[in-house]
Amino acid sequence: MCRFFCCKSEEKIPCESLLKPFSLACQRSPEYQGHGWGIASLSVNKNFSLYKSVNPIWSEPLNLFGESPLILAHARSAFRDKDITVVNNMPFSVCK
């Protein structure tokens, strides 16, 4: 099963300080959650920054995401280890 993390705050919080414990929980999970991950965070100009990767969250540098008052992260556990592509990793974004 995939794992999600969400944090909303009145003040900006360093993303790394929240992603590290999330990353450890994913790495230590009895069910593998290393088929990729993604993060959406609210940027200074009130737009969402989106990052997705097919690598496990625990193998990536987590200090690249700055501070944000709103963070949504997802670690993927692919069904039967299939369709492991960035396109299939959440969070999804629809732009019009």
Q: For 58-92, how does the pLDDT look when each residue is reduced to its tens digit (9 = 90+)?
A: 999 999 999 999 999 999 998 887 888 898 888 88
Structure confidence at residue 84 (pLDDT): 87
CATH architecture of the domain with residue range 3-88:
4-Layer Sandwich (3.60)
pTM score, two decimals? Answer: 0.87
Q: For 19-63, how does the pLDDT look when each residue is reduced to its tens digit (9 = 90+)?
A: 999 999 999 999 999 999 999 999 878 888 999 999 999 999 999
Of residues 45, 57, 54, 55, the one with CA closest to residue 15: 57
DSSP string, 20-77: HHHHHHHHH-SS---S-EEEEEE-TTSPEEEEEESS-GGGS-STTS-EEEEEEEEE--
Domain ranges of the chain: 3-88
